[in-house]
Amino acid sequence: MGEAAVARLENPMRRLKIEKVVVNCSVGTSGPRLERAAKIIEMLTGQKPQIRRAKKTIKGFGIHRGEPIALRVTLRKERAIEFLRKALAAVNNTLKRSSFDRHGNISFGIREHLDIPGTKYDPELGVIGMDVSIHITRPGYRVEWRRRARSKVGKSHKVTVEESIRFLQEEFGVRVVEE
């Protein structure tokens, strides 16, 4: 490894970090089923979920515009890492390469919340599935999102798929498989 490569690895601005983990659970109907799902999500994440409403009416599915049909929770810092360890254990620490987008973000699904370690079945609540999205960044990405003096993140500073895979392998012991 050359001097430039070693210096790049030691640079604190090049270190990857988990910006946020978003847990999404689409129930498809409002009412008691959505409330039960909200209790399960709150129990798993330790945070109250945000209710998401339908954007348009789909008569075939019985969904009306503005009707609450899904839940979402955004986890950051320690809560995100703690939940992510459990969620990855639910999929046996294995992710498909197609789960990564070109910016190094990852999305995967959990079929049943009972797959998450330490979760017990409650017949009153039932079983739900969920989608987990992981947003990986480097320090300095804020320049693109801040309100004042907004700027662009350079191409060399953006997270690649290979860097994201390496980060997950080192930090969480994740195995990435081809389809």
Express each pLDDT in 38-66 by its tens digit.
Answer: 998 998 888 999 988 888 888 887 778 88
- Whether the pLDDT of residue 9 is over 70: the answer is no
Short-list 14, 18, 10, 16, CA closest to 154: 14
pLDDT > 70 fraction of the chain, expressed in percent and rounded = 94
- Topology (CATH) of 16-24+72-177: 50s Ribosomal Protein L5; Chain: A, (3.30.1440)
Average pLDDT over residues 138-154: 87
pLDDT at 124 (0 to 100): 82
Short-list 81, 115, 99, CA closest to 175: 99
Cα–Cα–Cα angle for 20, 22, 27, nearest 5°? Answer: 175
pTM summary value = 0.84
pLDDT at 129 (0 to 100): 86
pLDDT at 2 (0 to 100): 61
Alpha carbons 44 and 80: distance in angstroms, whole number: 11
- Whether the pLDDT of residue 8 is over 70: the answer is no
CA distances from 46 to 35, 40, 83, 161 (A): 16, 10, 9, 30
